[in-house]
A = this chain, B = another copy of it.
């Protein structure tokens, strides 16, 4: 059986930047599950699997189709209970929702404003047109107007990770002694920033960067 993960890419299919897709790439590696990644552009998503979902990631696992990163993580946990856990219990699944809400309400709006113009420039022409129209309508500003606030957003960014930085004084991962899906939620947000032309949003010596590298290392060897 070929397990397929549809993810998002720029004009260059090697540039995959969606935070939600990265969460699932790490979750699949964590579970030790093989998969074939199929990156697509924004405007191709609606054509996938007979229009199954408006967003990626979409996981095709045998005859099952699942969209939404959190739903996919719950599916993997339930379907592969003998593989390393993504939540380590019901409490971990509940609290991962809090981490998701933190990431999406605090980090995502900032990264959107930091990376928006660069994301646009990485896309294929047809995706650029879609992206400009949808994002400018959502934000009520042109991409170029949003970009003028980029430096200020970068200067304020490290502070938004204070909860993680403080926690890292107690333990190496959000999941405790080993990373869990909650770690990959925040990892995905940072990976999104790094893959879209913002290598320097955090200081190389920031404990958050060390944690980021530990997450990567853990899933590459698991």
Contacts and interface: CB of A to CB of B under 8 A. Distances in A.
A101 B176 contact: no
A182 B91 CA distance: 9
A171 B166 CA distance: 26
Interface in A95-111: 95-102, 104-106
A94 interface: yes
Nearest to A159: B105
Given A91-B89, A92-B90, A162 B106 contact: yes
A79 interface: no
Please give the count of copies of this chain that the complex contains: 2
A173 interface: yes
Interface residues of A, number: 35
B91 A167 contact: no
A45 interface: no
Contacts of A106: 162-163
Contact of A94 (B88, B97, B163): B88
A166 B85 contact: no
19 contacts: A88-B89, A88-B92, A91-B175, A91-B182, A92-B94, A92-B95, A94-B171, A95-B96, A95-B99, A95-B175, A97-B167, A98-B98, A98-B167, A100-B167, A101-B162, A101-B165, A101-B170, A102-B102, A105-B165
